[in-house]
DNA sequence: CGAACAAAAC
C-alpha cells in the first residue's frame, strides 16, 4: 500500500527511480514497510544497483536489526565504501564492537579504502573496547589520508585518547583543531567524567571558557551529573544551575532532567520539583528521576504519588521506573509494596529485565524473612550480571548463610562473571562476620592473584575482617597498601580493637588518623570515646568531647551516647547527666547509658527513676535496659523488684531474656541468699551454663558460705576454663570464710603448683594527660598510693571526722564517703590498706577513695591551680 | 543516495 502511495506521489518516473524514492523516504522516516521493494528489485534485475542496495541495507540495519542487515550485506554482489560503512556502523551502534572491528579488517583485506565516515565508526569501537593500539593505527591512516582536520574525526580521536589515559595526546589534538568546537571540548569533558577524573574534567571546563568556547546543553548535562560525586554538596550544583542561566542555555527535557537529578541527589526535592515544572515536557526519564529522588530521602509515599501522577499524565513506566519503585519498597522494608510492584512488573512483562530483576532480588532479600523469593527472582534473570550476583551473595550473608554466599561466589566465577569491588567487600564482610580468617586470606589471595584493585571499600572490608579476627598486624599492613583511607578504615579498626579489649591501641589509632589527615566523623568519635571509656581515661575523653563540640558531631546521638557512657564509666555522673540533658531526642541507647551509669556508680534509686522517666518519654526499653535494671537491683539488694523487672521483660515488653540476663538474675538471687533458686534458674534456663554464670554463683556461695554448692560451681568453672586463677581464689576465700582455712591454703597452693598467678590489681591515675600506673606488684607505686590514703585519713582525723579503724586497718568506704558528704558510694566492700599491699576490693569505691584523696589536696591547696584534679580524673580497674 | 562526534533515570 505504502509502495503504491509513494510511487503515486513521485510519479511519473521509471521503476528504478521510484524504488529509490520509496527507499529514501522510508529511510528518513525509519519505516520498515520500505523493504517491500526488495523482491521487486530482484525481479527487476536491479540487485547490482549500488544506490538501491545501500539504501535497502540502511533500512534493514535501522528497522530489522544487525543480523538481517549483515545477511543482506553478505549477499550483496558488489560493495562500495558506503555499503561497508553502513554495516559497520550498524554493529557499532548495537555495541557489537568486536564484530565491527572484524568487519573493518575484512574491508581493508578486500582492498576497499575507508573514508572519514568509516574511520570514525571504527574508532568508536576501538574506544569502547579500549583498543588503544588499533585506534592509534587508525589515527595513522587518518593522517595518511589527509583527514586530520576533519572535526568529527578529531573529536572521536579525542574521545579515544582520553579514555585510554593519553590526555596529552588528546590536548594536542584539541590544539590541532585550533581549540576545536564545543563538541570537541564536551567530548573531552565527557570522557574524563566517565573515567572518574572529576578534577581534570573541571580544569578542562575552565580552560574551555578561557578559550572563549561557551558551554551548551550537552556540556551542562555532563557537568551536572558530576555534582553528586564531588562531595561538594549543593554549592557546585547550584553554581552550575546559575551558569546555565547566565550562558543562556535553553531549557529542554534532558537539561531539566539533569538539574532535577542534581537537586534530588542533594536531597532537595522541593527545588527539584520547582525546576521540573519550568517547562511542560515530561517523559519517563524525568518521572523516574523524581521517583528515585523521593526514594533517596525515604519519602516513599511521595515517590508512589509521583508514579501515579506519571501514569495519569499518560507516560508509561519502564524498567528503570520499576527498579526505582522496588528500591523504594526495600528502603522502607515494605514487602507489601514490593509485591505490588512485582505484580505490575509481571503484568507489563518486564520480569526478565536485568535492572528490574536485580531490584527484585534486592527487595526480597531485604524485606522477606527467607531467601526463597529472592532466589526465584534471580533465576528469572536471563543473564545475571555482577550486580545480580552481588545482591544474591550479600542477601545470603545477611540472612546468616555465609557458607552459602562463599559457594555462590564460586558459582558466579564459574559462570564467567568477575567480581567487582562491591562483591569483594561484601564477601569479605561475610568472612568478618564468621570470624573466618582462613576465608579472609583466601579472598585476599584472590585479590592479589587477579590484581584486583584494593579500593577503599575492599580495603576497609579487609581491615575489618583481619582486625575482627585478631590479626591486627595484617589489618595494619592492608592499611599500609591502600591508596586512600577514610574515616571508615580507622573506625572499623578502632571498633574491632575495642571489641578485643585493646583500648590502648584503639586510642593510638587517633594519631595515625590525624597523621593521615583523615578527619574524624561521628562514628569514629563514638569508637574512640568508647575506647576512652574502656580505659576510664577521663582526660582523653574530655579532649574527644571538645572535638565533638567543635566539629558539631556532639549533636549526633551516637556521639552523645558514647559521652554518657564514658562519663558513667569514669565515675562522673555529673558530666554524664549534663551530656544527657543536652540530647535532643534521647533514644534507648542514651537512656541505657544513663541508667547503667547511675547503677554502677551506686545511685540505685536514681537509676530506677531514670527508667520511669524513659517510659514517660515514650522510649521503648530494650534488652540492654533490663540488663542495667536487674544489675541495679542486684547492686542495691532489691531482690523482689529485680525479679519483677526480669519477668516483665517477656510478659510486658516482649523481649526474650538472653544469657546475660540470666547471669544478672543469678547474681541477684545469689547475693540475696536465694542460692537454691539461683541453681534452679541455671538448670531451667534455655542456655547452656557458661563460665560467667557459674562464677557468679560461686561468688554468691562465697558471700553466704555455701561450701558444697561453691565447690560444685568451682568445678564447673574449671571444666570450662581450667587456667583461670580467679576461680581458685574465690574458692579459697569461700573456704576461709567458712572456717576451713587449711582447705583455703591448699587451694592456693594447688593454684601455684599448676603455674597460675593472679593477675595483679592495678589502678592508674591520669593527671594532665599523663597516666600513672599503680600495680599491687610494684611496691613503689603502692607506697605512693598508701601514702596518699594515709594522708587523707590523717586529714580526716584532724578534722574530727568519726572514723573507725580496726586492727587490720580496714575502713569502710561508706564511712569515708559519709565523712565527705558523698552519699553515692556503691554497696560497700571494705577497702583494705596494708603497708605492703593495697588491694582494691571494689573498683568503684576505690575510684571514689582516690578521688577523695585528691579532693582533699584541692581543699588544702588552691582549688583553681589544681583544677585538673577534679573528681573522676582518677581511674581504676581492679581485681579482687 | 547512503554512512560519522557530545546529553538524563539503574
The pLDDT tens digits of the residues spanning A80-89 come to: 999 999 999 9
**pLDDT at residue A325 tops 90:** yes
- Whether A335 is covered by a domain: the verdict is yes
Question: Is A50 (CB) below 7 Å from strand B?
Answer: yes
Query: What are phi and psi for residue A877, nearest 5 degrees?
Result: -130, 125
DSSP A537-569: -HHHHHHHHHHHHHHTGGGSHHHHHHHHHHHHH
pLDDT, tens digit (0-9, with 9 covering 90-100), for A267-292:
999 999 999 999 999 999 999 999 99
What local confidence, expressed as pLDDT, does residue A857 receive? 31
* CA separation for the pair A125, A842 (Å, rounded): 77
Model pTM score: 0.72
Residue A683: inside a domain, yes or no? no
Tell me the per-residue pLDDT of A214-248, one tens digit each, with 9 for 90 and over. Answer: 899 999 999 999 887 776 668 888 989 999 999 99
In a domain, residue A318? The reply is yes
Residue A162 CB in 7 A reach of strand B: no
**Based on C-alpha coordinates, what's the Rg of chain A?**
38
**Measured between alpha carbons, how far is residue A143 from residues A159, A172, A187, A249 in Å?**
17, 14, 21, 36
Q: Report the protein residue whose CA lies nearest the C1' of nucleotide B4.
A: A117
Closest among A605, A601, A655 to A625, alpha carbons compared: A655
Does residue A555 belong to any structural domain of this protein?
Answer: yes
Question: Which DSSP letter does residue A417 get?
Answer: P
- Whether the CB-CB separation of A825 and A814 falls below 8 Å is answered with yes
Contact A349, A356 (CB under 8 A): no
Supply the pLDDT for residue A50.
Answer: 85
Quote the pLDDT of residue A392.
96
Residue A265 CA distance to nucleotide B9 C1' (Å): 12
Nearest nt (C1') from A80 Cα: B2
Q: Please say which residue of A338, A358, A382 terminates a domain.
A: A382
Is the CB atom of residue A127 positioned under 7 angstroms from any atom of strand B? no
Whether the CB of A82 is less than 7 Å away from nucleic strand B comes out as yes
Domain final residue, candidates A342, A359, A382: A382
* Nearest nucleotide by C1' position to the A318 CA atom: B9
How many Å from the CA of A490 to C1' of B6? Answer: 42
pLDDT at A827: 31
Residue A218 Cβ < 7 Å to strand B: yes
Give the range of the structural domain holding residue A330, as residue numbers without chain letter.
282-382
Q: How far is the CA of A88 from the C1' of B3 (A)?
A: 9
Nearest C-alpha neighbor of A3 from the set A27, A16, A22, A24? A22
Q: How many CA atoms lie within 13 A of A327 on its CB side?
A: 22
Count of the separate structural domains present in chain A? 3
The answer to whether the C-beta of A330 is closer than 7 A to strand B is no
- Say if A513 falls within a structural domain: yes
| A796 within domain boundaries | yes
For residue range A746-789, what is the model confidence (pLDDT) as tens digits?
Answer: 988 988 888 887 765 555 544 445 554 544 444 444 455 556 55
Residue A497 placed within a domain: yes
Pair A259, A289: CB distance under 8 Å: no
The CATH number of whichever domain residue A535 belongs to comes to: 1.25.40
Return the number of other C-beta atoms located less than 10 Å from residue A803's C-beta. 16
- pLDDT band at A794, cuts 50/70/90? low
The residue from A353, A382, A411 where one domain ends is A382
Q: Does A737 fall in a domain?
A: no
A572 touches strand B (CB under 7 A): no
Amino acid at each position: 500500500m505504502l509502495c503504491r502511495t509513494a510511487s503515486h506521489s513521485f510519479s511519473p518516473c521509471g521503476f528504478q527511480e521510484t524504488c529509490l524514492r520509496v527507499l529514501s523516504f522510508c529511510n528518513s522516516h525509519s519505516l520498515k514497510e520500505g523493504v517491500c521493494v526488495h523482491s521487486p528489485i530482484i525481479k527487476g534485475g536491479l540487485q547490482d544497483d549500488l544506490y538501491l542496495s545501500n539504501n535497502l541495507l540502511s533500512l534493514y540495519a535501522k528497522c530489522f536489526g544487525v543480523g538481517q542487515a549483515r545477511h543482506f550485506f553478505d549477499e550483496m554482489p558488489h560493495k562500495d565504501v558506503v555499503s561497508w560503512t553502513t554495516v559497520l556502523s550498524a554493529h557499532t551502534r548495537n555495541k557489537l564492537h568486536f564484530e565491527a572491528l572484524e568487519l573493518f579488517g575484512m574491508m581493508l583485506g578486500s582492498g576497499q579504502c575507508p573514508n572519514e565516515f568509516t574511520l570514525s565508526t571504527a574508532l568508536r569501537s576501538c574506544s569502547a573496547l579500549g583498543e588503544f593500539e588499533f585506534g592509534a593505527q587508525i589515527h595513522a591512516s587518518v593522517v595518511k589520508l589527509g583527514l586530520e582536520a576533519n572535526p568529527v574525526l578529531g573529536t572521536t580521536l579525542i574521545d579515544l585518547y582520553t579514555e585510554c589515559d593519553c590526555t596529552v595526546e588528546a590536548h594536542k589534538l584539541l590544539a590541532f583543531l585550533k581549540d576545536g568546537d564545543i563538541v570537541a571540548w564536551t567530548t573531552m569533558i565527557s570522557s574524563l567524567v566517565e573515567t572518574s577524573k572529576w578534577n581534570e574534567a573541571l580544569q578542562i571546563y575552565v580552560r574551555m571558557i578561557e578559550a572563549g568556547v561557551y558551554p551548551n546543553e550537552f556540556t551542562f548535562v555532563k557537568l551536572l551529573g558530576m555534582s553528586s560525586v564531588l562531595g561538594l554538596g549543593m554549592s557546585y550544583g547550584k553554581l552550575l544551575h546559575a551558569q546555565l542561566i547566565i550562558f543562556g542555555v535553553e531549557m529542554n527535557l534532558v537539561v531539566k532532567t539533569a538539574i532535577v537529578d542534581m537537586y534530588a541527589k542533594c536531597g532537595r526535592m522541593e527545588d527539584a520539583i520547582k525546576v521540573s515544572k519550568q517547562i511542560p515536557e515530561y517523559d519517563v526519564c524525568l518521572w523516574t528521576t523524581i521517583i528515585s529522588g523521593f526514594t533517596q530521602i525515604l519519602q516513599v509515599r511521595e515517590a508512589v504519588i509521583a508514579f501515579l501522577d506519571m501514569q495519569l499524565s499518560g507516560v508509561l513506566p519502564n524498567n528503570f521506573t520499576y527498579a526505582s519503585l522496588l528500591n523504594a519498597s526495600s528502603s522502607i522494608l515494605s514487602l507489601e509494596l514490593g509485591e505490588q510492584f512485582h505484580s505490575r512488573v509481571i503484568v507489563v512483562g518486564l520480569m526478565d529485565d536485568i535492572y528490574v530483576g536485580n531490584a527484585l532480588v534486592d527487595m526480597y532479600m531485604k524485606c522477606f524473612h527467607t531467601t526463597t523469593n529472592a532466589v526465584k527472582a534471580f533465576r528469572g534473570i536471563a543473564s545475571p550480571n555482577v550486580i545480580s550476583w552481588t545482591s544474591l551473595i550479600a542477601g545470603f550473608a545477611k540472612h546468616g548463610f555465609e557458607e552459602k554466599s562463599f559457594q555462590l561466589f564460586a558459582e558466579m566465577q564459574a559462570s564467567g562473571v568477575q567480581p567487582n569491588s562491591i562483591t569483594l567487600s561484601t564477601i569479605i564482610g561475610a568472612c568478618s562476620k564468621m570470624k573466618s580468617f582462613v576465608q579472609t586470606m583466601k579472598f585476599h589471595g584472590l585479590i592479589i592473584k587477579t590484581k584486583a584493585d584494593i579500593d577503599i571499600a575492599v580495603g576497609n572490608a579487609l581491615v575489618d575482617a583481619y582486625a575482627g579476627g585478631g590479626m591486627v598486624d595484617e589489618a595494619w599492613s592492608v592499611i599500609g597498601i591502600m591508596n586512600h583511607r577514610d574515616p571508615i578504615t580507622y573506625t572499623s579498626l578502632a571498633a574491632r580493637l575495642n571489641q578485643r579489649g585493646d583500648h590502648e591501641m584503639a586510642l593510638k589509632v587517633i594519631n595515625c588518623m590525624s597523621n593521615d589527615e583523615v578527619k574524624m566523623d561521628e562514628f569514629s568519635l563514638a569508637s574512640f570515646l568508647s575506647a576512652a571509656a574502656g580505659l576510664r581515661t577521663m582526660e582523653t575523653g574530655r579532649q574527644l568531647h571538645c572535638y565533638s563540640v567543635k566539629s558539631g558531631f556532639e549533636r549526633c546521638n551516637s556521639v552523645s551516647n558514647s559521652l554518657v557512657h564514658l562519663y558513667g564509666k569514669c565515675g562522673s555522673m555529673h558530666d554524664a547527666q549534663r551530656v544527657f540533658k543536652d540530647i535532643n531526642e534521647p533514644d534507648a541507647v542514651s537512656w541505657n547509658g544513663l541508667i547503667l551509669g547511675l547503677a554502677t556508680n551506686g545511685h540505685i534509686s536514681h537509676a530506677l527513676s531514670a527508667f520511669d522517666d524513659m517510659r514517660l518519654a515514650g522510649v521503648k526499653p530494650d534488652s540492654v535496659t533490663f540488663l542495667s535494671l536487674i544489675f541495679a537491683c542486684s547492686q542495691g539488694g532489691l531482690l523482689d523488684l529485680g525479679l519483677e523487672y526480669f519477668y516483665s521483660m517477656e510478659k510486658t515488653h516482649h523481649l526474650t531474656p538472653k544469657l546475660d540476663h540470666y547471669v544478672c538474675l543469678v547474681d541477684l538471687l545469689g547475693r540475696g541468699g536465694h542460692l537454691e533458686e539461683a541453681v534452679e534458674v541455671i538448670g531451667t534456663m534455655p542456655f547452656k551454663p557458661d563460665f560467667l554464670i557459674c562464677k557468679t554463683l560461686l561468688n554468691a556461695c562465697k558471700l553466704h558460705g555455701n561450701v558444697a554448692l561453691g565447690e560444685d560451681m568451682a568445678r564447673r568453672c574449671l571444666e570450662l576454663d581450667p587456667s583461670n586463677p580467679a576461680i581458685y581464689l574465690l574458692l579459697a576465700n569461700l573456704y576461709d570464710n567458712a572456717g576451713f582455712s587449711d582447705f583455703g591454703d591448699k587451694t592456693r597452693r594447688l593454684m601455684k603448683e599448676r603455674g597460675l598467678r593472679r593477675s595483679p590489681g592495678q589502678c592508674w591515675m591520669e593527671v594532665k594527660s599523663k597516666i600513672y600506673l599503680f600495680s599491687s606488684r610494684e611496691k613503689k607505686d603502692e607506697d605512693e598510693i598508701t601514702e596518699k590514703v594515709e594522708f587523707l585519713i590523717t586529714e580526716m582525723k584532724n578534722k574530727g571526722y568519726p572514723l573507725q579503724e580496726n586492727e587490720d586497718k580496714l575502713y569502710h568506704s561508706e564511712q569515708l564517703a559519709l565523712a565527705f558528704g558523698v552519699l553515692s558510694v556503691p554497696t560497700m566492700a571494705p577497702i583494705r590498706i596494708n603497708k605492703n599491699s593495697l588491694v582494691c576490693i571494689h573498683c568503684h569505691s576505690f575510684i571514689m577513695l582516690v578521688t577523695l584523696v585528691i579532693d582533699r589536696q584541692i581543699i588544702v591547696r588552691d582549688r583553681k591551680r589544681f583544677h585538673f584534679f577534679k573528681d573522676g580524673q582518677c581511674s581504676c580497674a581492679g581485681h579482687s
